[in-house]
Structure formats: structure tokens, C-alpha cells
Amino acid sequence: MSSTIHLVNESLTVPVSWYLLLSVALFAVGTAGALTRRNGISIFLSIEVMLNAANLALVAYSRQLDQRTGQILVFFVLAVAAAEAAVGLALFIAVYRQRRTIDINRINLMRH
């Protein structure tokens, strides 16, 4: 794999390795955010960043292999992620109404 930009049909193409490096960086940021945050919504958003990093890797490999199946899979993953976001935020609202906080260190749902 070359790290230079190639001209194909008089247009620039970015090597797949650059997409994968960006995907790894996004996944690392999401992992660090999920492990270090206390706020439930921040953890939730960090997990969404990790999911998008995986989607970027799927699209990059799909492009490299000249297949459309990876892009179709990403479409379905995004649809499921949208539903998950709606359910997750509804849960956060319900917990906040009950406990008046979404700090995961202060929430003990088994207590009451």
C-alpha cells in the first residue's frame, strides 16, 4: 500500500490506508471517551463515535474490493443506530426524571 495520492482518470484518489488510519483514530477517541466519562450521554455519544469508526472501515474495505455490500451493511447499521439513539435517549430521560442526575457514579437503579 502506497501512502501517496494517485491520479486516476484525472481525479485524485485517497489510499484506503488513510481511511483505515482515520477509522482507528476515531475508534480510539471513542474508546477513551467511553472509559473516562461519567455522564451517561457522553458515554453514549462515545459509543456512537466507535460505531461510526467501524462503519468507515467497512466503507473503505468495500471501496477497495469494489463491492457494494459493505456500503449496504453500513446503511442498515446506521438505521439500527438511529433506533438505538432514540431508545437510549428515552432511557436517559426516564432515569433523569426519577433520579435528577445521569452521572453513572451516582445512579444506583437497584436501590429503589
What residues have CB less than 8 Å from 45, skipping those under 6 apart? 33
Report the C-alpha gap between 107 and 111 in whole angstroms: 9
Instruction: Give the count of beta carbons closer than 10 Å to the beta carbon of residue 36.
Output: 10
pTM of the model: 0.77
Q: What is the pLDDT of residue 108?
A: 67
So what's the architecture of 6-99 in CATH?
Orthogonal Bundle (1.10)
> What is the Cβ-side half-sphere exposure of residue 86, based on CA atoms within 13 angstroms?
5
Q: What are phi and psi of 11, to 5 degrees?
A: -130, 155
pLDDT of residue 110: 56
Q: Which stretches of the chain score pLDDT less than 70?
A: 1-11, 107-112
